[in-house]
Homo-oligomer: A and B are copies of this chain.
Amino acid sequence: MHRTKVKVVEEALDANNTIAAANRADFDRAGVKVVNFMSAPGAGKTTLLERVGADLGDVRVGVLEGDVQGSMDADRLASLHVPVTQLNTDPGFGGECHLDANMVRSALGALPLEQIDLLVIENVGNLVCPAEFRVGEDARVMVSSVTEGEDKPLKYPLMFRTCDLVLVNKIDLLPHLDYDLDKFLYYLDQVHPDVPRMLVSARTGEGIDGWREWLQAAATPEGALA
């Protein structure tokens, strides 16, 4: 008698990872690359998307907007004529503090996957739980604003450790802050050595060209990380 032994690995028991893999397979079939875009509240995710969303050349971008409540960010992005899908996490008391794979899966039917090459998922503003839940992304980008202080890589290590690009935003404010950029970069290298990082200002446009090019590369079959 032929017998097959199935080894149950811990990851297979993790329902979130199972659903994330299913999402990833659907995105791959549709030829859509996916970026999970994360930061603390108010670090500038939406403004950084506004800066480049209408100007990615041949790349057709769509946005899945995660918020506890409301659609203020989606409304801002829709004005760029970019397809935006809103996902709210507040069926419960105070709302979920992150997106998980199942929430993203519930939005799949509403995403115009055949009309886009790149999907940016703007996660809920939070430096803890979004890092714990894969949603089916190809790459993770996080924004760290210089107004938040230099110590954030050490205080929220999983977020900084699991991302593929760090956008250091609001650098136009550096002359007005007691912020030591070298110290931030030193802490960043302690938790995630050599992770790509870009110094940007969504307000003045400084460094935005590099961010645009990174997104364009992320939409290619090879991806930005190749």
Contact = CB atoms under 8 A, between A and B. Distances in A.
Contacts of A212: none
A128 B97 CA distance: 6
Contacts of A7: none
A70 interface: yes
A42 B152 contact: yes
Given A70-B154, A152-B41, A129 B97 contact: yes
B72 A154 contact: yes
Given A128-B94, A131-B94, A173-B147, A155 B67 contact: yes
Interface residues of A, number: 40
A158 interface: yes
A132 interface: yes
A214 interface: no
Contact of A127 (B125, B132, B156): B125
Q: Oligomeric state, in number of copies?
A: 2
A157 interface: yes
A165 interface: no
A128 B127 CA distance: 11
A149 B176 CA distance: 17
Contact of A173 (B151, B155, B156, B173): B173
Contacts of A173: 147, 173, 176-177
Interface of A: 40-42, 67-70, 72, 93-97, 124-129, 131-132, 145, 147-149, 151-152, 154-159, 170, 172-173, 176-178, 203
The 5 closest A-B pairs by CB, nearest first: A42-B148, A97-B128, A147-B147, A94-B132, A94-B158
Given A40-B42, A68-B128, A97-B126, 7 more contacts: A41-B156, A72-B151, A94-B128, A94-B158, A96-B128, A97-B97, A147-B170
